[in-house]
Chain A
Amino acid sequence: MRESQIMFIQYMTGLLILVFGSFHFLLISALAPTTDKVLYSYTYLNGIRTLAGGTLYYSTVKAVYTSLMWGSVFELLLTFLVFHIFNGFRVILSEQFPGSKAEKIITYSVLIAAMIVFIWGSRTIVLMLNGGL
């Protein structure tokens, strides 16, 4: 692939992350499927602080993950993010260590790291779509 094509995808994924990322931020605040829209809402059971609600409460997060729409938003966001971030890392590293041999090492190690993060993230999303393990 030509560098111009890669960088064009870099810019486009950047813009898409801006869109999908805003949804992601709204999801843990205004759009959260819960009545008490705070990140954490605590109660004190016998003097011990326990999480009782909020947008990061298990049932809230699970409701988000099991909906197909939000699941696909997450999956797309993850795809764009992984490309954008690891291509960015590749650019920074290849600037830092110029040379054809270093170039190869950087490209492949970044590719492997990107695959690991992508698979790990997708696993969570896909498994949670069916209600967890």
Chain B
Amino acid sequence: MTIENKKGWISWFNPFKYGTDRWMYALHRLTGIVLGVYLMFHVVETSRILEGAVTWNSLMVWLDYPFGPHFGPLILSAVLLAAVYHALNGLRLTIVENGLMLPKPYRPEYPYKPRSLRGLNNFLKIFLGFFMIAISAVGIIYIFTGAIL
């Protein structure tokens, strides 16, 4: 059953030759795993609120300053970035993976640029990319300063 020449999962993260979709696939998978692990941690962490005000408040302080100043906000920002990316790319995938906003079958012409990866799919990437930058900027500014717009 084993194949000597199998590229293995490490090739998910070696997307240098195949265009943007491959990058986005690798990032989508990576952020998905990160967010999944974060949820488990988050569920455990929030369940400590049952233990009362003192425990909760000291836990929150520790999470803000776990290993040094601004380390907590940095982790939060990373999670926010992962969540925003995963959400918006997921929105794009929900659309295109169900065949919407993709071209009808066409006659390929040399030099064979696949249209499924371009056209409206590219438009979606750029459109949602702007959203991603805007939302994560607002979020990260809020995390660090507490300013809402």
Contact = CB atoms under 8 A, between A and B. Distances in A.
A124 B50 contact: yes
Contact of B91 (A15, A41, A49, A54): A15
Main secondary structure of the interface of B (DSSP, over half): helix
Contacts, number: 96
Contacts of A108: none
B134 interface: no
Q: Which of B47, B98, B143 has the most CB of A within 10 A?
A: B47
Interface in A53-106: 54, 56-59, 61-62, 65, 78, 81-82, 85-86, 88-89, 92, 96, 99
Contacts of B39: 81-82, 85, 117
Interface residues of B, number: 40
Interface of B: 1, 9, 29, 32-33, 35-36, 39-40, 43-44, 46-47, 49-53, 56-58, 60-61, 64, 73, 76, 80, 83, 87, 90-91, 94, 97-98, 139, 142-143, 145-146, 148
